[in-house]
Amino acid sequence: MKTLTTPRRRTQNSARRTTYSTAARGCAELLLGACLAAGGLTHAAAVAAEEGRLIGTGGVTEIEGSAGGGIVPWAVVAGYGTRDQVDATAFYTYLSIKDFRLQSGGLAVGVFDRVELSYALQRLDLGSTVPGRSIEQDVFGAKVKLYGDAVYDQDMPWPQIAAGVQYKKNRDFDLVPRALGAKHDAGTDVYLSATKLYLAGIAGRNVLVNTTLRETEANQLGLLGFGGDLNSRMSPHFEGSAAVFITDRLAAGVEYRSKPNNLSAYREDSFDDVFLAWFPDKHLSITAAWAELGRIADKTNQDGVYLSLQLAY
């Protein structure tokens, strides 16, 4: 099996990375401050919040920091806040597949059930591909609800619709992505999501359906850079989720995410998973999944266990 080698970094690249990392930390600190402030506002409205959106309808946190499923963003806004509340969530996700380990953690703020701001830091341990090394990426997200309400507009045929953006910056572009032929160390995904909750949709149980259309040039979510020798432009890709609430606090579902194929060095496969999400209350959710990610760099058949914890304030 081919093992990638680490190219020599230039001093100026190191300087740029140091400058960028400082800026990224500053942005993350600002978002953390907003989350803490949001927590105070939400605490003051605790009683109202308990009577707000139905449990589980805020989704969990997808691997890039947006509210949704594990790998697909939904049209919902993070947290359970209503039109006069501000919510904050924090999450940590660990994905263990055959040859790699991916960790992701971050924060999100939901403002008046209309706007969502998020930040996630991802770390991919490269295993035997580049022994002892990892790739890190920052993801800054924003989402705006455009139309409808997935829960309360049951008499309307149209779903809740939201538009989102995710700006991604790869901190380790020279480690592997450049060697594979990636063109850029940063990129911006733009997506449109539609989410509908059907109350008592199947055998009296609630059913949630989501579709997302994403424009992206990211290779493996951006962890292997952006663009490549086969394609260096953004292209549209479909993502979808479906979940059934087995009980009011337990949901089971499936997800699918198609991805671009920009690099001739290695073909990129779609992602899919089967998940189980438990919501003991509105402040905690735990998600377990079996994820099949296909080829990652020089390794095929990458599947394994996905675990995620989310706290809501």
Report if residue 111 sits inside a domain: yes
The shares of helix, strand and coil residues in the chain, as percent rounded to the nearest 5, are 15, 50, 40
| Model pTM score | 0.83
In tens, the pLDDT along 132-167 reads: 899 999 999 999 999 999 888 888 889 999 999 999
Q: How confident is the model at residue 46 (pLDDT cuts 50, 70, 90)?
A: very low
Q: How confident is the model at residue 52 (pLDDT cuts 50, 70, 90)?
A: low
**Can you give the residue range of the structural domain that contains 87?**
11-312
In tens, the pLDDT along 196-236 reads: 999 988 888 999 999 999 999 999 999 999 999 999 899 99
Report if residue 4 sits inside a domain: no
pLDDT over 70 at 41, yes or no: no
Q: How confident is the model at residue 42 (pLDDT cuts 50, 70, 90)?
A: very low
Report if residue 242 sits inside a domain: yes
| pLDDT attached to residue 278 | 97
Strand pairing class (235-247; 284-292): unpaired
Q: What is the CATH number of the domain that holds 79?
A: 2.40.160.40
Cα–Cα distance, 295 to 267 (Å, whole number):
7
| pLDDT attached to residue 116 | 97
In tens, the pLDDT along 245-293 reads: 999 999 999 999 999 999 999 999 999 999 999 999 999 999 999 999 9
Sign of CA dihedral 191, 194, 197, 201: negative
Report if residue 1 sits inside a domain: no
Report if residue 251 sits inside a domain: yes
Q: How confident is the model at residue 313 (pLDDT cuts 50, 70, 90)?
A: confident
Q: How confident is the model at residue 184 (pLDDT cuts 50, 70, 90)?
A: very high
Name 191's bridge partners: 164, 214
Report if residue 142 sits inside a domain: yes
Q: CA–CA distance from 79 to each of 41, 204, 284, 306 (Å)? A: 13, 25, 10, 21
| pLDDT attached to residue 56 | 85
In tens, the pLDDT along 122-135 reads: 999 998 888 989 99
| pLDDT attached to residue 121 | 98
Report if residue 86 sits inside a domain: yes
Cα–Cα distance, 6 to 176 (Å, whole number):
7
Report if residue 3 sits inside a domain: no
Q: Domain total for the chain?
A: 1
Task: Please say whether the beta carbons of 305 and 293 come within 8 A.
Answer: no
